[in-house]
Structure 1
Amino acid sequence: MPTYDFRCVNCGERFSRRVPIEERDKVRCPQCGSKAQQLLTGFIYFGKSDGGGSGSCSRSSCSGCSGC
């Protein structure tokens, strides 16, 4: 179950909640019980580097890093 960030439309309380995707619009503020609005948040994806493990980057913007 994913974790989403919310802000209360009434008191402004910010909080996170683990809820099923189909129930995001039913979340209520833990402080005042009012409706909460989901905040847009990003995520980070760590994938396998395609640099071949040589320690130098083949992309021009990496400046010799060891893992894009």
Structure 2
Amino acid sequence: MSEKGRIIYVCDGCGTPGVTREAWAAWDVETQAWVLTEMFDYAFCHSCHRRTQLVERAVEGE
């Protein structure tokens, strides 16, 4: 958690939090789990169904 409190990422077009980012995951033999190894700039909004930029906002009510 940051000094500002908890944050949420939303779509810059429609403002909804239904967004994802493109990333790579690699299998970690020690932990027996998939671990994120790289995140990319590409973001997609599942509400307006388009590529988007992510906007960081404070979680309301905190």
Shorter-chain TM-score bucket reads 0.3 to 0.5
Between the two structures, name the one with larger relative contact order (CA 8 Å, sep ≥ 6). 2
Q: Which has the higher helix share?
A: 1
Task: State which structure, 1 or 2, has the greater radius of gyration over its C-alpha atoms.
Answer: 1
